[in-house]
Structure 1
Amino acid sequence: MENIYAAMLLHKAGKAIDEASVTKVLEAAGVTVDGIQIKALVASLSEVNIDEAIKAAPTLAAAAPVAAPAAGESKPVAAAEDKKKAAEDEKAKEEAALEGLGALFG
């Protein structure tokens, strides 16, 4: 994941995404560098228009907080159901985001 973050940082800065640049970013962040992973990432991104991939990726919206019940109201069952639904919604959003990241690799 750190490799992708390094590539995204380089892209945002308008720098070339090559093995040397990604390695420098990771080393500056104190991350262990795996040359094979970096080589694979650079090769995968060479044919991808990152700006288009970002535009096509679904956005992650913050989950709406569950409102606390009014004073005197007691609905532990409803609150538990709301939390479960919120967790399911969050998981669905994460899965959609991961599918969007898959587009980066082909």
Structure 2
Amino acid sequence: MEYVYAVLLLHSAKRDISEDNLRRVLEAAGIAVDDIRLKALVAAVKEINIDDVLKSAFALPTTPVAVPATGTQAPAAPAKEEAKAEEKEEKKEGVSEEELAEGLSALFG
């Protein structure tokens, strides 16, 4: 994460995002620099337009939000059903502890 912050710092200062500049920022922050990670990040950043990424990341939603009229109240039952459906979806999307343990053992085993 520190590497990404360093890239954003260089970008906001309108400095060239190069290996040397990125290394200087990281070392000034007291972070040990991994050369492979540094090279990979610089290569990846050269392929993207940071301004466009930042604009899309912080863009406001364009879909209108439904607001009930004053004095009327929507029924509570549909909201509860939607909440239950979302909970079920979250459970399905989550990774089980067994899968997580297998993944970690593959990395460190």
Q: Indicate the residue corresponding to 1:6 in structure 2.
A: 6
Matched, 1:27 2:3: no
The structure with the larger Rg is: 2
> How many residue pairs were aligned?
60
Compute the TM-score of the two structures, normalised by the length of structure 2.
0.52
Matched, 1:48 2:44: no
- State the Cα distance separating 1:51 from its structure 2 match: 0.3
**Higher relative contact order, chain-length normalized (CA < 8 Å, sep 6+):** 1
In structure 1, runs of 5+ residues without a counterpart are 60-106
Compute the TM-score of the two structures, normalised by the length of structure 1.
0.54
Matching of residues 49-64 of structure 1 within 5 Å = 49-58=49-58
- State the Cα distance separating 1:47 from its structure 2 match: 1.1
- State the Cα distance separating 1:58 from its structure 2 match: 4.0
Opposite residue 33 of structure 2, the aligned amino acid is: V
In structure 2, runs of 5+ residues without a counterpart are 60-109
For 1:27 and 1:7, the matched residues in 2 are separated by 13
Opposite residue 12 of structure 1, the aligned amino acid is: S
For 1:48 and 1:5, the matched residues in 2 are separated by 16
